[in-house]
């Protein structure tokens, strides 16, 4: 029914009612006027009945109208409110067809809104994914950089750094959230920032450089570049400085090398001037004064012989020193010889199509070479062997001889003469760029020597390169830093799963919904029951499936006991760093407050929990919330993997490790690992805390038996 | 009148030549083997000219030169620095400290004789 017809009907009904009432009144009046036996009382009664009937009809009609056109819209309004809260719901109405139309319109709107929301959510997800990818790329890039990089906010708090920076500056000073002013003088950085902002105003390259010494004897060249962002102040057009990037370059060695080179050159010139002066004076005097006596002449001849000898000696000395200094002139990097050979095999075959195999390889050989050019040289020689003599296969061998490494490019069968070999060594390498060096040049650049050799008995020939060996201790100190310590033993002597009743309150919540505190401790040793103590707690939070890097808890603790040397090797925390730090009884309540109402997550959690548990009585602080252990969860996810060390898991899950063996560093890695585990666990049907706990429990008891 | 000349150098091999040359030039030649001895001999004998090496034990040639120039009584002493230190900065330092001539080793004996003559206004 159309609304106008409804309106007509309603109007018609009202008119009809009025007309009926009027007609009835008129009829009754007419009857009474005729005095047709109708008493006045009857008239009144009839009118009243008539009136009541009319009222009843009217009320019924009104109620119907109110239900359809007044309450129904109110109900609809309430339903709309639920749609606003939950985009998936739709409204329906029991009102008239007009309200049905409105409800349909509302539902269309809700559908459109839901689609829009999905769209936005998808865009957010995509943005997050690309942000994550970018972050990973940045982390990989920073890890690969030869320079140290530290990023700070304007307050000098460290936001980001790479491992090299840590190795260079020292673990004790560099850490996320710490102040850069513990490393560099505040004034120095303030001055650099000031000159950067001046340059910004002048549109010059906005960067500053300074040289600073940090640890004793360490000289760093620091390149400071601003991080622009944030709101420009007032109506200034250039963006404000939000922080800064420091690129550090350890120039201690360069500096020493350059000083040494200078000293060699200067010492040589000065050292030569004196003897040459005596020599020349004696020679000139001899020739100018031919009239001198025999005795005098002999004195002068002695001077000449004597000084000439001294001069030769000085020359030898200087040449020796200069040779050493020369080593530092090319961008030579220290590589493990075997790695270079392995890379060489691929490269040679890839570039020349000639199969290349490794012969004896000494794993312990480290060399300092320009590896790119050296591999290029090997490829080039192989290419010529193939082109000119049809050599079908070459071999590489690496061995140690005296103070040198011996790298051989070997082939069999074809004999070639020494002149040809010499020519190959001296020719500019084809296909190696415009100003291509010769093979000989490349080897000399590496401070090495090379020659061609025929081994007649074995029917083979080889190019042999003698390359300088590197002292492992001097050059590979940084390498060991990454490897030291290893992991602590897995602990099983503490039952993770015996929580208090309160601990089970979160049992049926989804893992993805819960808030977590991921933590790690550094300790004086591995025997909590035998008196080892916590010396550092590092923790960070996971909220809404995000690791909050900026809300960390990081505290050194005075253990009130000595620190074994082996433990210092692991965590790098020294006794003087702990002097004056708070004791465990003041730190634990603060940590308890930090992790209140969250699920604890740790790697090899039993170890850390054991330490905390042993302090319960003394401190009165109980950690009775649920605990998840990434070690056990890893065993759930990868039951066939041998290693559940944090490094191994991190690598498996593609988590970049930054700053291992600091409590905070390990806590962060654990947190990232845990976040990656949540969806993988869900794939296995483990979605709630209870399910995670039960699955862990199974592996826990499974592991305890072997 | 015979002029006096002091050779201050710790290298005997150069002293042999210079001493021979200067004696042939008609000087009365004194020799000092280190800075202190040189300064003492300058004060005692007031030589007309000093051939002064820079690198010497005890007192360097620069120190000796400075001391001599600080003493008004020695104002007439000519100083010719004869040294292996040949950097520009060192030449400038020698001249600034009051050397009349700065010659670096190795030098030509003829040029040395020439300079000595010039210095003494002959």
Q: Across all residues in chain A, what is the average pLDDT?
A: 81
**Contact A278/B at CB under 8 A:** yes
Contacts within 8 Å (CB) and 24+ apart, A637-646: A637/A677, A637/A680, A637/A681, A637/A684, A639/A699, A644/A490, A645/A487, A646/A487, A646/A603, A646/A670, A646/A673
> Catalytic positions of A, please?
661
Contact A476, A368 (CB under 8 A): no
8 Å CB contact of B86 and A280: no
pLDDT of residue A167 exceeding 90? no
User: Count of CB atoms within 10 A of residue A278's CB?
Assistant: 28
DSSP notation for A57-111: HHHHHHHHHHIIIIIHHHHHHHHHHHHHH-TT------S-HHHHHHHHHHHHHHH
Chain A CB contacts of B109 below 8 Å: 280-281, 284-285, 288
% of chain A surpassing 90 pLDDT: 14
Query: What value of ipTM does the predicted structure carry?
Result: 0.79
Helices (H), A330-457: 337-352, 371-389, 418-426, 439-445
Give A183's DSSP letter: T
**Contact A277/B at CB under 8 A:** yes
Strands (DSSP E) contained in A422-495 are: 449-455, 460-468
Contact A468, A330 (CB under 8 A): no
The label of the residue with tokens 């309106």 reads A7
What is the distance of C-alpha B101 from the center of its chain?
9
Task: For chain B, positions 38-77, list CB contacts with chain A under 8 A.
Answer: 55
Residues A455-474 have pLDDT tens digits of 878 888 989 888 888 765 44
Kind and range of the H or E run holding A683: helix A663-683
Task: Report the chain A residue with the minimal C-alpha distance to residue B21.
Answer: A285
Residues A398-444 have pLDDT tens digits of 998 877 888 999 998 777 887 788 888 888 886 554 456 788 888 87
| Chain A nearest C-alpha distance from B82 (Å) | 10
* Residue A495 pLDDT: 46
Residues A313-348 have pLDDT tens digits of 888 777 766 655 554 455 567 777 888 888 888 888
* Residue B35 pLDDT: 92
pTM across the whole model: 0.40
* Nearest CB to A306 within list B13, B109, B110: B13
**Cα first-last separation, chain A:** 82
Task: Give the closest residue to A631 by CA, choosing from A614, A617, A648, A616.
Answer: A648
Backbone angles phi, psi at A416, to 5 degrees: -135, 155
The first and second tokens of residue B64, run together, are 């000796």
8 Å CB contact of A299 and B16: yes
More confident residue, A223 or A250: A223
| Chain A nearest C-alpha distance from B5 (Å) | 18
Kind and range of the H or E run holding A227: strand A219-228
Contact A210, A225 (CB under 8 A): no
User: Count of CB atoms within 10 A of residue A256's CB?
Assistant: 13
Q: Low-confidence residues of chain B, pLDDT below 50? A: none
* Residue A477 pLDDT: 37
Burial class (CB in 10 A: 0-12, 13-18, 19+), A300: buried
More confident residue, A185 or A330: A185
Burial class (CB in 10 A: 0-12, 13-18, 19+), A479: middle
The whole-angstrom separation of Cα A153 and Cα A156 is 5
* Residue A330 pLDDT: 54
| Chain B nearest C-alpha distance from A317 (Å) | 18
Contact B18, A281 (CB under 8 A): yes
**Contact A30/B at CB under 8 A:** no
Write the CA distances from A261 to A258, A313, A446, B25, integer angstroms: 5, 18, 18, 43
Residues A572-620 have pLDDT tens digits of 888 888 888 999 988 998 898 888 888 999 998 888 888 888 888 888 8
**Contact B20/A at CB under 8 A:** yes
* Residue A484 pLDDT: 32
């Amino acid at each position: 029914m159309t609304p106008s017809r409804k309106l007509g009907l309603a109007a018609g009904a009202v008119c009809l009612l009025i007309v009926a009432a009027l007609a009835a009144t008129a009829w009754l009046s007419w009857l009474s006027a005729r005095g047709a036996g109708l008493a006045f009382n009857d008239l009144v009664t009839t009118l009243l009945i008539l009136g009541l009937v009319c009222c009843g009809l009217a009320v019924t009609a009104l109620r119907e109208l109110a239900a359809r056109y007044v309450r129904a819209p109110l109900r609809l309004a309430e339903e709309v409110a639920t749609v606003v809260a939950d985009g998936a719901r739709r409204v329906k109405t029991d009102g008239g067809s007009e309200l049905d139309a409105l409800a349909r319109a509302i539902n269309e709107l809700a559908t459109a809104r839901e689609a829009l929301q999905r769209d936005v959510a998808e865009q957010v997800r995509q943005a997050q994914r690309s942000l994550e990818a970018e972050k990973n790329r940045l982390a990989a890039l920073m890890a690969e950089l030869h320079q140290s990089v530290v990023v700070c906010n304007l307050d000098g708090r460290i936001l980001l750094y790479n491992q090299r920076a840590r190795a260079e500056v020292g673990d004790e000073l560099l850490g996320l959230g710490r102040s850069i002013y513990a490393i560099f003088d505040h004034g120095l950085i303030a001055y650099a920032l000031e000159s950067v902002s001046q340059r910004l105003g002048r549109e010059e390259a906005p960067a500053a450089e300074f040289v600073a010494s940090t640890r004793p004897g360490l000289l760093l060249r620091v390149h400071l570049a601003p991080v622009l962002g944030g709101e420009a102040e007032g109506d200034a057009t250039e963006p404000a400085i939000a922080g800064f990037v420091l690129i550090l370059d350890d120039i201690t060695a360069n500096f020493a090398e350059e000083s040494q080179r200078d000293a060699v050159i200067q010492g040589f010139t000065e050292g030569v001037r004196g003897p040459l002066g005596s020599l020349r004076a004696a020679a000139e005097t001899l020739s100018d004064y031919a009239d001198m006596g025999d005795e005098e002449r002999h004195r002068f001849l002695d001077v000449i012989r004597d000084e000439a000898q001294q001069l030769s000696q000085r020359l030898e000395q200087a040449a020796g020193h200069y040779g050493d200094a020369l080593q530092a002139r090319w961008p030579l990097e220290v590589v493990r010889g075997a790695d270079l050979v392995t890379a060489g095999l691929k490269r040679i075959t890839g570039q020349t199509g000639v199969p290349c195999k490794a012969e004896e390889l000494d794993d312990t050989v480290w060399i300092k070479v320009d590896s790119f050019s050296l591999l290029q040289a090997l490829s080039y020689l192989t290419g010529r062997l193939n082109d000119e003599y049809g050599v079908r296969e070459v071999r590489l061998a690496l061995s140690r001889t005296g103070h040198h490494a011996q790298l051989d490019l070997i082939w069999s069968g074809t004999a070639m003469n020494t002149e040809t070999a010499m020519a190959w060594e001296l020719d500019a390498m084809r296909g190696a760029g415009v100003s291509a060096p010769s093979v000989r040049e490349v080897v000399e650049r590496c401070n090495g020597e090379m020659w061609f050799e025929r081994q007649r008995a074995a029917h083979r020939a080889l190019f042999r390169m003698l390359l300088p060996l590197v002292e492992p201790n001097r050059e590979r100190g940084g390498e060991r830093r990454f490897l030291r310590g290893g992991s602590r033993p897995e602990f099983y002597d503490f039952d993770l799963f015996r929580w208090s009743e309160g601990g089970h309150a979160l049992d049926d919540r989804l893992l993805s919904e819960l808030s977590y505190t991921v933590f790690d401790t550094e300790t004086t040793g591995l025997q909590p029951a035998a008196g080892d103590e916590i010396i550092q707690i590092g923790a960070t939070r996971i909220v809404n499936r995000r690791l909050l890097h900026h809300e960390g808890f990081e505290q050194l603790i005075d253990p009130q006991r000595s620190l074994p040397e082996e433990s210092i090797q692991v965590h790098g925390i020294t006794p003087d760093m702990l002097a004056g730090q708070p004791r465990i009884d003041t730190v634990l309540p603060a940590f308890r407050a930090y992790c209140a109402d969250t699920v604890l997550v740790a790697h090899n959690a039993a170890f850390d929990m054991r330490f905390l548990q042993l302090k319960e009585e003394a401190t009165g602080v109980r950690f009775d919330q649920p605990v998840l252990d990434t070690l056990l969860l890893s065993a759930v996810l990868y039951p066939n993997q041998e290693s559940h060390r944090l490094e191994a898991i991190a690598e498996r899950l593609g988590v970049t490790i930054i700053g291992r063996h600091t409590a905070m560093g390990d806590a962060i890695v654990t947190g990232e690992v845990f976040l990656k585990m949540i969806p993988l666990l869900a794939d296995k049907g483990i979605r709630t805390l209870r399910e995670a706990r039960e699955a862990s429990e199974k592996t826990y008891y499974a592991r305890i038996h072997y | 009148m015979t002029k006096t000349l002091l050779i201050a150098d710790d290298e005997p091999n150069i002293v042999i030549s210079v001493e021979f040359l200067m004696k042939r030039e008609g000087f009365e030649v004194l020799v000092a083997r280190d800075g202190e001895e040189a300064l003492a001999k300058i004060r005692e004998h007031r030589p007309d000219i000093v051939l002064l090496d820079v690198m010497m034990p005890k007192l360097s040639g620069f120190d000796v030169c400075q001391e001599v120039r600080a003493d008004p009584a020695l104002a007439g002493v000519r100083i010719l620095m004869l040294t292996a230190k040949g950097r520009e900065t060192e030449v400038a330092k020698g001249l600034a400290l009051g050397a009349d001539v700065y010659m670096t080793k190795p030098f030509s004996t003829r040029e040395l004789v020439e300079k000595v003559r010039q210095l003494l206004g002959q």
